[in-house]
């Protein structure tokens, strides 16, 4: 049995590696071909109103260390409000680390150390008088694997409101959050059932509902669809599109097609925690300034 196990493991490993390696090569040329720079480039300009939205999050010279290892290297970026910003890059490039800096989830890791400036709504997130708990009440987060609590659907969505002691019109706001997460129709008659009885895709939408129930300014998503099947993934992507009307969405993904489909702006991280390029998504995918970014997007790198 031991022998078999290792074989299975090895097989699984190569399979995942294959998909990982396959991603860029399969999708990137697609992107380059399918987009038409002539027409859509213009539309893109309209879509990218430099002055119309304000900057919600900005980082200046942000470094993160895990013990001795450097996870983010001098990152400077501005993230506009009411837009979807995608973070892409190979595994271990620091894109998730950056995401976790925004709501200070890195505080939960003992050895993590943050240097440089990170401003949220003009306030330095790492200033002494900022409380990470208060910060997280304005910055929602959705994780890679759906992680509903083993409680009822209702209690999951109400969790954030309850911990914040904000329980006026709880029923109405739970319903509103579930509607916005496009889940209400499916669960309205069984709010008291365990959230664990839902399918994976429904669970992830429940997690999104849970995050938006407290009406945050920003929603961080850490590869929210990577554990889901294609149909559930496309539902989540549609949802992200709608959410951008009311929220600022920052999403980490290593599916480049997905980044191209749903984001307004894209930031590319490469090995060593370096933010190589950030800009409007179309520019990044069609005409990146940096050769390394082009190499990555066309699959020569990573």
Partner 1 sequence: MNDARGEMDLSGDRGFQDVRESVYHVVLLACAVVSVLTTIGIVYSLAAPSVAFFAEVSAAEFFTATEFNVNIQPITFGVLPLAFGTIIVTVGAAAVALPLGLLTAIYLSEYADSRTRAVLKPMLEVLAGIPTVVYGYFALVYVTPFLDGVLPVELNTFNVLSASLVMGVMIVPMVSSISEDSMSAVPDTLRQGAYGLGATKFKVSTRVVVPAAVSGIASSYILAISRAVGETMIVVVAAGNLPNFPSGPGDVLPKFFEQTQTMTAAMVEVLTSEIGGGTVAYRSVFAIGLTLFGMTFALNLVSDFVAERYREEYD
Partner 2 sequence: MTTDTNTDTDTVESVDPGLGRVSRLRGAVFRYVTFVASLVGVASLGVLLAYVFWDALGMDSAQPGWYAGFFLLVVAPFVGFVLRARTDAVAGEVALELFATVAGGIQGGFALVVVLDVIAGVDVWLSYFLTTIGPAVAVYLYGRLNRAASWTGLGILATGLLGPVAGTLLIGRIDVVVSGVGAPGIYLLTVTLPAALGVGLLVDRNEDLGDGRWATLALFALGVAGVLAADAVPGVSRSVWQLFVASFAAPTGYVVARNLADQERWSGLAGPGALVVGAGVLLLVDGPLGLVGPSPWFDWQFLTSPPSLTDPSTAGVYAPIVGSVFVIVLVAVFTLFLGVGAALYLEEYAGSSGLRGAVARLVRINISNLAGVPSVVYGLLGLAVFARLIGTGIGTVLTAALTLSLLILPIVIISAREAIAAVPDSQRRASYGMGATRWQTVRNVVLPRSLPGIMTGTILALGRAIGETAPLLMIGVPAFRRDEPTGLFTRTGALPRQVFTWADNPNPEFQYGVLAAGVVTLLVVLLTMNSIAILIRNKYERGDV
- Using CB under 8 A as the binding rule, whether residue 129 contacts partner 1 is answered as yes
Binding partner selected for residue 217 from partner 2, partner 1, none, CB under the kind-specific 5 to 8 Å limit: partner 1
- Using CB under 8 A as the binding rule, whether residue 194 contacts partner 1 is answered as no
**Residue 260 structure tokens:** 């191209």
Contact call for residues 141 and 108 (beta carbons, < 8 A): no
By CB under 8 A, how many residues form the interface with partner 1?
25
Residues 6+ apart with CB under 8 A from 289: 277, 279
Residue 50-79 contact track with partner 2, rule CB under 8 A, x = bound = ------------------------------
Burial, 1: exposed, middle or buried (Cβ in 10 Å; 0-12, 13-18, 19+)? exposed
Scanning residues 124 to 143, which ones bind partner 2 (CB under 8 A)?
Answer: 133-137, 140-141, 143
Q: Which runs of consecutive H residues, i.e. helices, occur in the chain?
A: 2-34, 37-47, 95-102, 132-136, 153-163, 170-180, 184-187, 200-212, 230-243, 256-262, 281-286, 291-298
* Bridge partners (DSSP) listed for residue 142: 221
Gyration radius from the chain CA atoms: 20
Scanning residues 210 to 269, which ones bind partner 2 (CB under 8 A)?
Answer: 210-211, 214
Which one, 119 or 227, has the nearer CB to partner 2? 227
**Residue 83 structure tokens:** 């837009």
Scanning residues 77 to 96, which ones bind partner 1 (CB under 8 A)?
Answer: 81-82
Binding partner selected for residue 149 from partner 2, partner 1, none, CB under the kind-specific 5 to 8 Å limit: partner 2
Shortest Cβ 231–partner 1 spacing (Å)? 30
DSSP 55: E
| Long-range CB contacts (within 8 A, 24+) of 226-231 | 226/144, 226/253, 226/254, 226/255, 227/144, 227/145, 227/146, 227/200, 228/200, 228/201, 228/204, 229/200, 229/201, 231/201
Which one, 195 or 297, has the nearer CB to partner 2? 195
- Using CB under 8 A as the binding rule, whether residue 42 contacts partner 1 is answered as no
Binding partner selected for residue 111 from partner 2, partner 1, none, CB under the kind-specific 5 to 8 Å limit: partner 2
Q: Which of 62, 64, 88, 125 binds partner 1 (CB under 8 A)?
A: 125
Distances (CA, A) of 247 to 78, 211, 212, 250, 267: 16, 11, 9, 10, 18
Nearest to 102 by CA among 118, 87, 89: 118
- Using CB under 8 A as the binding rule, whether residue 52 contacts partner 1 is answered as no
Binding partner selected for residue 150 from partner 1, partner 2, none, CB under the kind-specific 5 to 8 Å limit: partner 2
- Look at residue 290 and give its three-state secondary structure: coil
Q: Which of 38, 51, 122, 150 binds partner 2 (CB under 8 A)?
A: 150
Q: What is the Cα–Cα distance from 175 to 192, expressed in whole angstroms?
A: 13
Residue 151-180 contact track with partner 1, rule CB under 8 A, x = bound = --------------x---------------
Shortest Cβ 137–partner 1 spacing (Å)? 9
Residues that bind partner 2 (CB under 8 A): 1-5, 103, 105, 108, 110-111, 133-137, 140-141, 143, 145, 147-150, 154, 158-160, 162-165, 167-171, 207, 210-211, 214
Residues that bind partner 1 (CB under 8 A): 2-3, 5-6, 54, 56, 81-82, 120-121, 123, 125, 129-135, 138, 165, 215, 217, 246-247
């Amino acid at each position: 049995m031991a022998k078999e196990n290792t074989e299975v493991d090895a097989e699984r490993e190569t399979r995942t590696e294959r998909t990982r390696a396959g991603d860029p090569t399969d999708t990137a040329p697609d992107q380059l071909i399918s987009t038409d720079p002539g027409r859509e480039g213009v539309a893109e300009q309209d879509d990218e109103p430099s002055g119309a939205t304000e900057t919600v999050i900005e980082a200046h010279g942000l470094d993160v260390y895990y013990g001795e290892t450097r996870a983010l290297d001098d990152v400077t970026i501005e993230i506009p409000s009411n837009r979807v910003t995608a973070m892409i890059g190979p595994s271990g490039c620091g894109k998730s680390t950056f995401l976790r800096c925004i709501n200070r989830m890195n505080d939960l890791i003992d050895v993590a150390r943050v240097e440089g400036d990170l401003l949220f709504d003009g306030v330095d997130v790492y200033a002494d008088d900022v409380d990470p708990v208060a910060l997280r009440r304005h910055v929602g987060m959705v994780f890679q694997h759906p992680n509903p609590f083993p409680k009822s659907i209702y209690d999951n969505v109400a969790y954030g409101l309850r911990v914040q002691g904000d329980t006026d019109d709880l029923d109405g706001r739970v319903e509103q959050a579930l509607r916005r997460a496009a889940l209400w129709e499916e669960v309205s008659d069984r709010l008291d059932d365990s959230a664990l009885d839902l399918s994976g895709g429904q669970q992830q939408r429940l997690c999104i509902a849970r995050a938006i129930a407290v009406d945050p300014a920003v929603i961080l998503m850490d590869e929210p669809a990577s554990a889901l099947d294609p149909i559930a993934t496309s539902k989540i992507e549609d949802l992200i599109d709608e959410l951008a009307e009311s929220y600022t969405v920052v999403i980490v993904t290593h599916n480049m097609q997905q980044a191209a489909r749903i984001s307004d702006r894209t930031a590319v991280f490469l090995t060593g925690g370096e933010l190589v390029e950030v800009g409007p998504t179309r520019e990044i995918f069609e005409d990146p300034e940096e050769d390394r970014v082009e190499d990555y997007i066309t699959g020569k790198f990573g």
